[in-house]
Chain A
């Protein structure tokens, strides 16, 4: 299943050197090209792109009121200076003190804890120094760190914990800062006169990371880095299929994750390589005869799958068949189609239809990932739902159109309930929000028609909310019955 003469992966990003990402991929038989972000096109036959992000790591001294210089340094700078520090001659008075500041301003990391512990070990064992670690939240979740912290304490490192108060820094006569603080354990005020003050560095996304994500049409997480924070992207993927984000230098959960990230990325890329014989089995197709080039689909597609050229086309590799464009297209030019692996798009996927509605029924449209599973759990738990509930599952709530909702009322449904994933949890990013807008439109329409707008309702839930599913349906049913 080696690739056949096409580029598998583009490596985009500023952390490619040193991280070994492309070397690893090449070593595993992938064809790799490096590109700037301009070199990436949604429409190219590229298997995908791995965005390698470096971010920016800074000590952010000002957050603690510290001035850098004069032996007030960032942790990585101290590690570089460490080999040049000479052993202290004990006859020359009390040993100089090195103070490490960890997690006192900004989120620290297990990497910082590990680096500080390694430096402390050298300072204490080989260089005759004293060590104090002043910490806010000490990050110890990486394997072995908790034991290492205790070992440092046994060796004589002074560990001082800060919960809400922070140490303050004052310059003494020689221009060197002294540290004033209250020791939480002993309740004593301490003044330390360190030889070095070493602060941990905070990792943040830089402007380059943000710009790159924006140009690729991939949504970053709340920290500004790719991948997306949506749980269905598994901490690796983005809303654009085939664009993966990794941060070689980060330890978001205290683990050295690069090896696993890369293995998972290679798996995804190889699976996409097999795309033509595998998935998706459905794809949206634009009828060029009906398309008015209004670009509604381009704007509404959450997956960056609508390419604008001489014709407006859907890139099948990127299409998740959520149906958002189909529901949004004013010209009705888009249909979801089953996809034959040999011949491409074939039959249209029928829009969900309502069967056997009796007047007065409550019709519930629900996303397969959340509502349909919650409904199954509701039944399993015996959490009760009315017998006259008509449930219409949809692959994504984004496919629910105004017509589908109105159709239920035309068939004399007593009410229409639309159940989707919670905001931020939609597999298609915003299918749930689209459905909410459709419900809003139908509410207004009912109102204008002199009907009660409360007959249509929108709620969100998750697959594991069986009890809540029952409650939502029962409550709505009870309200409808009161009218």
Chain B
């Protein structure tokens, strides 16, 4: 087989790791990424270190992305999706549809003048400097794609990197193997009665990650003031029979305490309460860490009934206190919802295209006979919730199985 190449759907931790491992074996890959920026959810995350590393693995996102972008064996195709797939005896035939590329990745320097001039706030800055290009136009917001004739960004660009005459592209590929690593969908907490979308100071854990990454500290979105008391609600959209989400999202029991410690490290007086059901594993030092954490923060084993605004613009949580056996309430300045990991929105379609079976929960079933079909592997959160380090390891395992499929090991 001459020059084997692999098509990877999804440029997050699992997909990029698979691509990097294949590159070690001189196997080329095309990474189809649906968003304008590769790196997955993790590329928007922040470091949780206190005086030492706490093993959250968020720094690996930068590592994976930079290495993949710089690898000659890897081509990342942002704003793209798999449109068609067929297979006869030889390699697969795939058609990838790429959205119009307004920003030329070779010319854009990321100066951000287009961001400043866009009247629709449609130009987005990539989460990482290693994204290529480092800026992208959100076609859903851009006036040009709604039939307008605005050229503000094109006119402002000193590098002539922006153009509207580059149409949609169809790329015909002939991969010898496929890897489905399209990741997960973040649960929308508007389905829960915690005032998300109504109260500005109710945010998700992912928004908190981005805030720490981009601002370096915690403030209330409503007025920019530092909060004195915050709460986390765990399992929002997970372990929830009414939603039909009969699974644990696995990562939040690790991320909430780590984040709380980071916040306390930045602001020693910060008051933190965590509402939880059961604490799952969060690290290899679980027992000692769990005992310490219960001294550092208030852990309340309850699922709050709701969150409502108070007169002085705080967030009031109502819950049943298991220690006293009576209803209680807690007013906080900021509420963080640890939102669940759910199957990707396009996973049903893509997995059908690839011939992958899904379980009752909607995630891809791993390892059964005949699933996945020959030449196809599926690593990372398409299999179910997992954290960064597990997704990386899953991507490595997938690369091995792909090399086996290619007869290379």
Q: What is the distance, in angstroms, from A28's C-beta to the closest C-beta of chain B?
A: 8
A443 to B25, CA, bound (A): 46
Taking a contact as CB atoms under 8 Å apart, the answer to whether B322 and A184 are in contact is yes
In which size bucket is the chain B interface?
35 or more
Q: Which residue of A lies closest to B214 (CB)?
A: A381
Q: Which residue of B lies closest to A252 (CB)?
A: B281
A447 interface residue, CB < 8 Å from B? no
Taking a contact as CB atoms under 8 Å apart, the answer to whether A379 and B129 are in contact is yes
B223 interface residue, CB < 8 Å from A? no
Taking a contact as CB atoms under 8 Å apart, the answer to whether B397 and A146 are in contact is no
Taking a contact as CB atoms under 8 Å apart, the answer to whether B47 and A464 are in contact is yes
With A139-B278, A381-B214 as contacts: A373 and B66 at CB distance below 8 Å: yes
With A234-B396, A253-B250, A464-B213 as contacts: A425 and B49 at CB distance below 8 Å: yes
A127 interface residue, CB < 8 Å from B? no
B354 interface residue, CB < 8 Å from A? no
Q: Which listed segment binds B: A114-122, A254-262, A325-333?
A: A254-262
Taking a contact as CB atoms under 8 Å apart, the answer to whether A141 and B125 are in contact is no
Residues of chain A contacted by B360 (CB below 8 angstroms)? 147
A466 to B130, CA, bound (A): 13
Q: What is the distance, in angstroms, from B311's C-beta to the closest C-beta of chain A?
A: 32
Taking a contact as CB atoms under 8 Å apart, the answer to whether A140 and B53 are in contact is no
Which of B241, B250, B400 contacts A254, CB < 8 Å?
B250
Residues of chain B contacted by A221 (CB below 8 angstroms)? 284
Taking a contact as CB atoms under 8 Å apart, the answer to whether A150 and B396 are in contact is no
Q: Which residue of A lies closest to B388 (CB)?
A: A231
B46 interface residue, CB < 8 Å from A? yes
Q: What is the distance, in angstroms, from B69's C-beta to the closest C-beta of chain A?
A: 12
Q: Which residue of A lies closest to B324 (CB)?
A: A187
Taking a contact as CB atoms under 8 Å apart, the answer to whether A235 and B389 are in contact is yes
Taking a contact as CB atoms under 8 Å apart, the answer to whether A253 and B110 are in contact is no
Q: Which listed segment binds A: B57-65, B92-100, B137-145, B183-191?
A: B57-65
Chain A 365-397: CB-based contact to B (< 8 A → 1; otherwise 0): 000011001001101111100000000000000
Q: Which residue of B lies closest to A147 (CB)?
A: B246
Q: Which residue of B lies closest to A185 (CB)?
A: B322
Q: What is the distance, in angstroms, from A401's C-beta to the closest C-beta of chain B?
A: 24
A451 to B370, CA, bound (A): 72
Taking a contact as CB atoms under 8 Å apart, the answer to whether B24 and A235 are in contact is no
Chain B 367-409: CB-based contact to A (< 8 A → 1; otherwise 0): 1000000000000000011110110111011111101100011
A471 to B398, CA, bound (A): 40
Residues of chain B contacted by A164 (CB below 8 angstroms)? 323
B239 interface residue, CB < 8 Å from A? yes
**Residue of B112, B281, B290, B399 most packed against chain A (CB within 10 A):** B281
Residues of chain B contacted by A421 (CB below 8 angstroms)? 53
A471 to B56, CA, bound (A): 23
Q: What is the distance, in angstroms, from A93's C-beta to the closest C-beta of chain B?
A: 33
With A184-B322, A463-B63 as contacts: A263 and B130 at CB distance below 8 Å: no
Taking CB atoms and an 8 Å cut-off, the chain A residues in 215-233 that contact chain B are 221-223, 225, 229-232
A29 to B400, CA, bound (A): 13
Residues of chain A contacted by B400 (CB below 8 angstroms)? 263-264, 266-267, 270
A21 interface residue, CB < 8 Å from B? no
Residues of chain B contacted by A460 (CB below 8 angstroms)? 49
Q: What is the distance, in angstroms, from A266's C-beta to the closest C-beta of chain B?
A: 5
Taking a contact as CB atoms under 8 Å apart, the answer to whether B59 and A236 are in contact is no
Which of B215, B281, B384 contacts A143, CB < 8 Å?
B384
Taking a contact as CB atoms under 8 Å apart, the answer to whether A462 and B281 are in contact is no
Taking CB atoms and an 8 Å cut-off, the chain A residues in 406-457 that contact chain B are 421-425
B357 interface residue, CB < 8 Å from A? no
Taking a contact as CB atoms under 8 Å apart, the answer to whether B248 and A462 are in contact is no
Residues of chain A contacted by B323 (CB below 8 angstroms)? 163-164
A27 to B129, CA, bound (A): 44
Q: What is the distance, in angstroms, from B358's C-beta to the closest C-beta of chain A?
A: 12
With A263-B401, A278-B24 as contacts: A465 and B47 at CB distance below 8 Å: yes
A243 to B400, CA, bound (A): 18
Which of A137, A260, A376, A379 contacts B393, CB < 8 Å?
A260
Residues of chain B contacted by A222 (CB below 8 angstroms)? 283-285, 288
Which of A223, A254, A464 contacts B58, CB < 8 Å?
A464
Taking a contact as CB atoms under 8 Å apart, the answer to whether A163 and B322 are in contact is yes
Residues of chain B contacted by A257 (CB below 8 angstroms)? 390, 393
A266 to B59, CA, bound (A): 25
A223 to B62, CA, bound (A): 27
Q: What is the distance, in angstroms, from A229's C-beta to the closest C-beta of chain B?
A: 6
A340 interface residue, CB < 8 Å from B? no
Q: What is the distance, in angstroms, from B259's C-beta to the closest C-beta of chain A?
A: 13
Taking a contact as CB atoms under 8 Å apart, the answer to whether A463 and B53 are in contact is no
Q: Which residue of A lies closest to B280 (CB)?
A: A141
A274 to B408, CA, bound (A): 12
Q: Which residue of A lies closest to B253 (CB)?
A: A141
B247 interface residue, CB < 8 Å from A? yes
Taking a contact as CB atoms under 8 Å apart, the answer to whether A463 and B62 are in contact is yes
Taking CB atoms and an 8 Å cut-off, the chain B residues in 279-312 that contact chain A are 279-281, 283-288, 290, 301
Which of B25, B62, B390 contacts A235, CB < 8 Å?
B390
Taking a contact as CB atoms under 8 Å apart, the answer to whether B52 and A423 are in contact is yes
Chain B 195-239: CB-based contact to A (< 8 A → 1; otherwise 0): 000000000000000000111100000000000000000000001
Taking CB atoms and an 8 Å cut-off, the chain A residues in 152-198 that contact chain B are 161, 163-164, 184-185, 187
A187 to B324, CA, bound (A): 9
A463 to B58, CA, bound (A): 9
Residues of chain A contacted by B59 (CB below 8 angstroms)? 231, 369-370, 425, 462-464
Chain B 252-289: CB-based contact to A (< 8 A → 1; otherwise 0): 00000000000000000000000000111101111110
Residues of chain A contacted by B246 (CB below 8 angstroms)? 146-147, 150
**Residue of A221, A225, A279, A380 most packed against chain B (CB within 10 A):** A380
Taking a contact as CB atoms under 8 Å apart, the answer to whether B280 and A255 are in contact is no
A164 to B359, CA, bound (A): 36
Residues of chain A contacted by B301 (CB below 8 angstroms)? 161, 163, 184
Taking a contact as CB atoms under 8 Å apart, the answer to whether A252 and B284 are in contact is yes
A81 interface residue, CB < 8 Å from B? no
A468 interface residue, CB < 8 Å from B? yes
Taking a contact as CB atoms under 8 Å apart, the answer to whether B409 and A467 are in contact is no
Q: Which residue of A lies closest to B279 (CB)?
A: A137
A279 to B47, CA, bound (A): 29
Taking a contact as CB atoms under 8 Å apart, the answer to whether B62 and A231 are in contact is no
Q: Which residue of A lies closest to B392 (CB)?
A: A234
Taking a contact as CB atoms under 8 Å apart, the answer to whether B322 and A266 are in contact is no
Chain A 266-297: CB-based contact to B (< 8 A → 1; otherwise 0): 11101100100011000000000000000000
Taking a contact as CB atoms under 8 Å apart, the answer to whether A255 and B408 are in contact is no
Taking a contact as CB atoms under 8 Å apart, the answer to whether A146 and B285 are in contact is no
A59 interface residue, CB < 8 Å from B? no
15 contacts across the A-B interface (CB closer than 8 A):
A143-B359, A143-B384, A146-B247, A163-B301, A235-B393, A254-B250, A270-B403, A271-B21, A369-B59, A373-B66, A421-B53, A422-B47, A422-B49, A424-B52, A464-B46
Give 5 closest A-B pairs by Cβ, nearest first. A467-B216, A425-B53, A263-B397, A380-B129, A462-B47
Extra inter-chain contacts (6) besides given A222-B283, A253-B281, CB under 8 Å: A146-B248, A235-B389, A235-B392, A263-B398, A267-B409, A278-B24
